Amino acid sequence: MLDNGVIICQYVKCYYKSFENLNRTYPGLFPRLEVYQTKTGLPLLLTNTLTNVKAQNINFLESTNETVNLEGSEDGDSCCQTYKSIVPYISLSDFRRRTNMDGQLCYTIQLFTIGTCGDSQSTNQCEACVQDTNLMSLYSYNYATSDVGFNLFHIESYCSCKA
C-alpha cells in the first residue's frame, strides 16, 4: 500500500490503482484516512495482534483532549467491552491478510473497522465473553486467483456475553 494508492505484486504480475481511480469506480469506498477517522471517531489499529488492541485504545484515549466513548460502541453487554479500531490502508498487520469465505488467502485493500474483546472479567450474569464476527464484502487481492475484486470475509466486529 502507498499513500496515494495500492500496488500488489505476486511473482512477475503487479497490480496498481490509485485511491483517486478507485473512488471514481467505487464512490465512497476509499475515503481519505483522516476523513474516515473523523467520521467514526475511532483510533487507528497500530498493532499486529488482538492482545495489543485494548492497550492501544486506552493510550489513544489518554493521549487526546477529545473524549471518545468506546463503550458507546459496544453491542450492549455491560460485562464484555468491545474495542473498536480502524485498520488503516498502510498496515502490514494480520488484520489485512485474511481468508475469504472460499478459504482463499486475500489482502484487503479498503478501510474497515474491527471490534475486539477486552480482557475485563466476566460477571455473574455472563459466563464468557465471545468474539463475534459479521460478514463483510471487502475489496481485496486474492492470492490464489491473482484477481482483485470483492470477497466475503468474517470480520471481528464485537464482543458478546454468552450466559
Domain spans of the chain, in order of start: 32-162
* Residue 6: φ, ψ to 5°: -130, 135
Which residue stretches of 7-163 are H helix? 19-25, 33-40, 53-62
> How confident is the model at residue 71, as a pLDDT?
38
Residue 57 pLDDT greater than 60, yes or no = no
Q: Which CATH superfamily is domain 32-162 in?
A: Cystine-knot cytokines (2.10.90.10)
Mean pLDDT of the chain: 76
pLDDT digits (tens, 9 = 90+) for 104-145: 999 998 889 998 886 655 555 667 788 899 999 999 999 999
Handedness of CA 56, 58, 63, 67 (dihedral sign): positive
